[in-house]
Amino acid sequence: MHTSTILSAVILAVPALSAPLSKFNTRATESWSINTMNVHFMGRDTGIPGNGWPDWAKFDTTLDFKVDFPFSQVSCSASWPEKNLPTSEIPCESENTMFQLSPVPSGDFHEAAFTLSVRRTDVDGASGVRTTYTGGQVITANQPTVDTSYLSCLGGRPLDGIRCSLNGPMSVRKPLVLDAVSRAE
């Protein structure tokens, strides 16, 4: 009799305990595509002979891309002094979207090898619950047999630097997709 009472209590408690836990463990996912990305920087051997750059011709590195979210598209861009990639979050044109650059798993970190992370925060108007989605992708260049080589980077005329873009002759031929995972706050 005592055993059946305990067993009944356990059977009744399990659904009550599991419901709230499953609610908190549910994570939404989204896939975000980037169809446009451009990087422009002063590269080795793209200045004048001897790898020099006159002061008047020097320029900051630029990165710009567009993220296609399920219901909108957001432009993101940044510029920085050559070889000084930023590591803090950078706001995009939409106030709820940021991006960040970090080293690739091998430790490389330069204009043609970085990990791109994008973060978007949504606020539910009715409940006020904030949900943050984060997605990232390693991005490298000029190795079409490497899955992460999304950029094709080519040097131009002297003092024009190196220009990189998606789907070029030296990049993989596949979409750049960020698989984002949510976290409720």
Q: How far apart, in whole angstroms, are the C-alpha atoms of residue 98 and residue 86?
A: 13
Q: What is the DSSP letter of 42?
A: -
The structure tokens 């949900």 sit at: 131
Say which residues have a Cβ less than 8 Å from residue 136's Cβ, sequence separation at least 6: 115, 116, 117, 118, 178
Residue-level pLDDT at 26: 63
pLDDT in tens, 38-82: 999 998 777 777 777 888 988 999 999 999 999 899 999 999 998
pLDDT tier for residue 6 given thresholds of 50, 70 and 90:
very low
What are the sequence ranges of the domains in the chain? 28-184
Q: How far apart, in whole angstroms, are the C-alpha atoms of residue 9 and residue 74?
A: 53
Q: What percent of the chain has pLDDT over 90?
A: 57
* H or E element at residue 65: strand 61-68
pLDDT in tens, 79-121: 999 889 999 999 999 889 999 999 999 998 999 999 999 999 9
Say which residues have a Cβ less than 8 Å from residue 61's Cβ, sequence separation at least 6: 39, 40, 41, 42, 79, 80, 81, 82, 85, 111
Q: Alpha-carbon Rg of the chain, whole angstroms?
A: 23
The structure tokens 């430790």 sit at: 107
pLDDT in tens, 28-42: 889 999 999 999 999
* H or E element at residue 20: helix 2-25
Q: How far apart, in whole angstroms, are the C-alpha atoms of residue 149 and residue 139?
A: 6
- For residue 11, pLDDT beyond 50: no
Alpha-carbon distance values, 178 to 14, 17, 125, 126, 183 (Å):
37, 34, 26, 28, 16
Residue-level pLDDT at 12: 42
